[in-house]
């Protein structure tokens, strides 16, 4: 059996593509390790159009319901793709040694937390070094915590943590936090302290984390900050590792796409969402780009 389209990835981009592809009556298979993507773990999303405030779990449930109501789509979740090959069609192999064939492919694999790669980070992962504030904030009751990164994710983590922790620091590398002003204004708390021009050097502890060392980039002075929890919120890296010999990636390992159509460097392959080199990575834009891709895939299949 040859599918018209195989969508790889089940975040907002992949699920939206599935809905559109099915409505265009394309024989579609969606392969993903889990539905929801990064936004699944967001505690409170306030910029998803149509919802003043919604949790990641709730949003995922709504999009998933919409997706599963479609007739033409097959969903294979809890499945990771291990390889894609170009033959006459595209052959997609999974880690469970299954193989699927399709005329076109949409890469919507998203991204994962970026790591700092400093001493102590790996050693203390799960022992005071965390990446998911939604999951682990309730464990920080009356504790002192540090968030590394002053972008939107860092401020969202601060919101999660201020309900529990006794003190929250945000460490920002540059002169001022990069988070949207509205995200920064949402937090009014004397428990929050923002330290700018901070380059984190090392995380230390014994069995569990006790704190970190950072360099003040103005004075070069090394300072120590004690905390029982360190949340790393320095952005995301695309899940493109296995694609590097398949389509063209940029230096940030993002899939390069034509922004008019979402086509990649390889004919028959499109990409959308966090995995691409688009300038902005948002739920709403990922969805728009995925839909654009499917409409272009539809036109391509009609012509061929």
Partner 1 sequence: MIKLYSTPTCPYCEMAKNYFKEKNVEFEVYDISADEKAQKEMVEVSKQITVPVIDINGKIIIGFNRAEIDKILNL
Phi/psi at 293 (5° precision): -60, -45
Angstrom distance (rounded) from CA 36 to CA 100: 23
The footprint of partner 1 on residues 57-116 (CB under 8 A) is 57, 78
Say how many Å lie between the first and final Cα of the chain, rounded: 18
How many beta carbons lie within 10 A of that of residue 304, not counting itself? 9
Phi/psi at 68 (5° precision): -70, -15
Q: Give the residue, chosen from 4, 136, 183, 289, that forms a contact with partner 1 under the rule CB under 8 A.
A: 136
| Nearest residue (CB) to partner 1, 159 versus 167 | 159
Q: Give the residue, chosen from 13, 26, 137, 297, that forms a contact with partner 1 under the rule CB under 8 A.
A: 137
The footprint of partner 1 on residues 20-39 (CB under 8 A) is 34, 36
Contact mark string toward partner 1, 236..275, x via CB under 8 A:
----------------------------------------
Q: Give the residue, chosen from 23, 43, 184, 195, that forms a contact with partner 1 under the rule CB under 8 A.
A: 43
Q: Give the residue, chosen from 18, 120, 128, 238, that forms a contact with partner 1 under the rule CB under 8 A.
A: 128
Contact mark string toward partner 1, 154..183, x via CB under 8 A:
------x---x-------------------
What b-and-e string marks burial along 93-125, b requiring 16 or more CB atoms within 10 Å of the CB? ebeeeeebebbbbbbbbbbeeeebebebbeebe
Look-up: residue for tokens 């001493």?
A: 119
**273: nearest Cα among 264, 258, 284, 261:** 284
Residues of the shown chain interacting with partner 1 in the complex, contacts defined by CB under 8 A: 34, 36, 40-41, 43, 56-57, 78, 125-128, 130, 132, 134-139, 141, 160, 164, 208
């Amino acid at each position: 059996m040859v599918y018209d389209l195989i969508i790889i990835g089940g975040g907002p981009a992949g699920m939206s593509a599935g809905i559109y592809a099915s409505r265009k009556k394309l024989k579609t298979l969606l392969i993903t390790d889990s539905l929801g993507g990064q936004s699944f773990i967001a505690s409170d999303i306030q910029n998803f159009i149509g919802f003043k405030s919604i949790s990641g779990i709730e949003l995922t449930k709504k999009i998933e319901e919409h997706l599963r109501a479609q007739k033409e789509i097959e969903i294979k979740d809890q499945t990771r793709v291990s390889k894609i090959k170009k033959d006459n069609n595209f052959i997609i192999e999974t880690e469970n040694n299954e193989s699927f064939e399709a005329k076109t492919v949409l890469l919507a694999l998203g991204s994962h937390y970026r790591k700092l790669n400093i001493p102590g980070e790996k050693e203390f992962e799960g022992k005071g070094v965390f990446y998911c504030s939604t999951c682990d904030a309730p464990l920080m009751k009356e504790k002192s915590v540090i968030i590394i990164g002053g972008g939107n994710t860092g401020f969202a983590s601060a919101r999660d943590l201020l309900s529990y922790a006794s003190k929250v620091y945000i460490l920002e590398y540059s002169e001022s936090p990069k988070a949207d002003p509205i995200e920064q204004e949402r937090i009014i708390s004397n428990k929050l302290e923002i330290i700018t021009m901070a380059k984190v050097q090392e995380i230390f502890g014994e069995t569990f984390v006790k704190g970190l060392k950072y360099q003040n980039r103005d004075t070069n002075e090394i300072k120590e900050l004690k905390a029982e929890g360190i949340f790393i919120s320095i952005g995301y890296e695309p899940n493109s590792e296995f694609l590097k010999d398949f389509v063209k990636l940029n230096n940030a390992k993002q899939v390069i796409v034509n922004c008019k159509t979402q086509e990649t460097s390889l004919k028959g392959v499109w990409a959308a969402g966090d995995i691409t080199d688009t300038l902005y990575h948002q739920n709403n834009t990922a969805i728009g780009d995925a839909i654009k891709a499917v409409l272009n895939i539809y036109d391509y299949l009609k012509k061929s």
